[in-house]
Structure 1
């Protein structure tokens, strides 16, 4: 895909949604961090339902740590893999309290040292909470980048690096949100809605569908 096509794709994304946001509910970097840890192999809707009950009771490292694994599990047991996630969150809270003055680090090295935080989670926090240029490639972004030919790659790291290189600079900060939303609601895994897609004429997918 050439640079002109990419620029027009992101221009349209921006035109349709000038200030895209994550669908995870949060008010602080800490709330975002915990929500992203909980969102692994789970839906944002499911995570939001759990945190809507949790955060009014506990939304700081100290408060969640005080719940302990069992106490936290009661709030998040509707989320897949909740037992492992509860252990990771409690341990993450302990590290934040002991090593970071209860603040969420704003750098990749410290974020990735937290239990349950991999490269993708760190990228979400860096981009969304701290507005740094980072590209969190989830299954939606991986699919859209390859299917459209915006930034094809064999693995998530390759796609991440290509997106950082190919997305026009003025759109890079919000590109991650546009691509996730596009993959979630339009360029769906089983049947992309090509007929009603804003960028169908620019997309290089060879097996486009009609909406009927």
Structure 2
């Protein structure tokens, strides 16, 4: 895999989807933050179903905090790990109210200091809510990056650092959306759909399927 191939791969993904974004439903940085927190080890579809009921009732730090842990659980109990997620969301709302004027901070350290928010969640919020050229590496991106040999690494941190190094600046804001969607719908885990893949001829996966 060389930089010329990488640029062609990203150019094709951009041509197919010029304005990619998350499949999580949100209307504010706060709604995005909560949705991403809820999406850990859960599908975007399941999160969207829950927030479709939650956000019309409570979609600010104050209103969700007022629900309390048990009140919030009633809306998110269909999502995996909802008990711990409810605890973290309520704690996060309190910190946003007390320390950040009820606003989501556009600051990595402040985001990662929130309960239940790690580097990946912070990257998603900084990228999708604020337009930072951050790259949030999830299981899809990790798989696609290694399988295609686009940016290989033994863990998500290594893949993130390699992507930051090899992805040209013009693609950095959108690359994690393209790779997530490619991994979710084409380069799937068990049997990648190589025959319908727009980058098959550039990919260096050794065991391509028909």
1:133 CA displacement? 1.2
In the other structure, the counterpart of 2:201 is 201
The residue correspondences of 1:88-103 to structure 2 (distance < 5 A) are 88-103=88-103
1:75 aligns with 2:75: yes
Structure 2, unpaired ranges of 5+: none
In the other structure, the counterpart of 2:4 is 4
TM-score with structure 1 setting the length: 0.99
TM-score with structure 2 setting the length: 1.00
1:53 aligns with 2:28: no
In the other structure, the counterpart of 1:64 is 64
SS at 1:102's partner residue?
coil
1:146 aligns with 2:161: no
SS at 2:35's partner residue?
helix
Q: Distance in 2 between matches of 1:20 and 1:191?
A: 24
Structure 1, unpaired ranges of 5+: none
CA RMSD, 1 decimal: 0.4
Q: Distance in 2 between matches of 1:56 and 1:186?
A: 34
In the other structure, the counterpart of 1:173 is 173
Q: Distance in 2 between matches of 1:52 and 1:123?
A: 24
Q: Distance in 2 between matches of 1:168 and 1:149?
A: 16
CA deviation map 1:162-184 (0-9, x unaligned): 10111121111100000000000
SS at 2:23's partner residue?
coil
In the other structure, the counterpart of 1:187 is 187
